Amino acid sequence: MQSCCDMRMFRGRKMADILYTYKNNVYVNLTNKCDCACTFCIRSHRDSVGEADTLWHKRDPELREVLDALDAFDFSGYEELVYCGYGEPTCALDILTASAKYAKEKYGIRVRVNTNGLANLYYGRDVVPELAEVADCVSISMNAPTAEEYMAVTRPKFEGAFEAMLQFASECAKHIEKVQFTVVDVLSEDDIEASRRLAASMGIEFRVRHYAGGDMMNGRLFGLPFFDICATNYM
């Protein structure tokens, strides 16, 4: 597998990978900024995912650096360019949209954005039209079927985040080819089914992601409660 990782230098130290691979997709690690503090976030326990050396930036990359990383990568055999790294990609919306447009036009690759769905709250405006110009798919982490559970697990910076996430998904479904909600299979069967029903009521595709953090025994992973370690949104 190609190591796509552009290990830049910053004051003599290696910087994080901008691109990395996982299975048949190429991932873009735009930023370490995030407007949530999810109890299960993988970045609290690992420095990288897939083929990356590290996904922790010393500083977030500039647009030119992202474009250079795209140009240095051979996309042959890869199916999607996925905006998903150690941060919420929409927190770097301008670079996301500019680099995705560049990649689609130059390399003809599909673009997926994995997001927490809170971009409209983050920017205080509707950003869906901007995403619709470049995204073929938007995958939104539902995380829980009720506002109370969502707020407890996701710990967003905003009030009303659960409702805003659902509204964001609804708007995306009007303008973007494929929109899906995801939850992780560490949820109870009842919560998964409640989440599935909620997605169905909105006419949005639903997918259960497999927990990729390790073996789960009696609700614990690596000796920690499973909501203390992240389930990835990479597949």
pLDDT exceeds 90 at position 190: yes
Considering the domain boundaries, does residue 233 fall inside one?
no
One-letter amino acid identity for 143? N
pLDDT tens column, 100-150: 999 999 999 999 999 999 999 999 999 999 999 999 999 999 989 999 988
CB-based contact 36:90 (threshold 8 Å): no
Cα(29)–Cα(84) distance, rounded to whole angstroms?
6
Residue 235 resides in a domain: no
Is 160 inside any structural domain? yes
For residue 189, which amino acid is it?
E
Q: How far apart are CA 79 and CA 66, in angstroms?
A: 19
Instruction: Assess if residue 234 is contained within a domain.
Output: no
148 in a domain, yes or no?
A: yes
Task: Provide the pairing of β-strand 137-141 with 178-184.
Answer: parallel
Nearest to 183 by CA among 128, 228, 231: 231
**What CATH number should be reported for the domain holding residue 59?**
3.20.20.70
Examine the pLDDT at 234 and tell me if it is beyond 60: no
**How many other CB atoms are found less than 10 A from the CB of residue 9?**
9
The DSSP-derived string for the chain is --------EETTEE---SEEEETTEEEE---S--SB--TT-GGGT-S--TT-S----SSPPPHHHHHHHHHTS--TT--EEEE-BSB-GGGGHHHHHHHHHHHHHHH--EEEEEE-S-HHHHHTS--HHHHHTT-SEEEEE---SSHHHHHHHH-BSSTTHHHHHHHHHHHHHHHSSEEEEEEETTS-HHHHHHHHHHHHHTT-EEEEEPP-S--EETTEETTEEGGGSPPP---
Specify the range with the lowest mean pLDDT, choosing from 19-28, 54-63, 133-142, 182-191. Answer: 54-63
pTM: 0.79
Asked, for residue 99, whether it belongs to a domain, the answer is yes
Q: Is residue 151 part of a domain?
A: yes
Q: Which of 18-32, 48-62, 163-177 has the lowest mean pLDDT?
A: 48-62
> What is the residue range of 95's domain?
9-228
Number of domains in the chain: 1
Q: What is the pLDDT of residues 160-185, one digit of tens each?
A: 999 999 999 999 999 999 999 999 88
Does residue 207 fall inside a structural domain?
yes
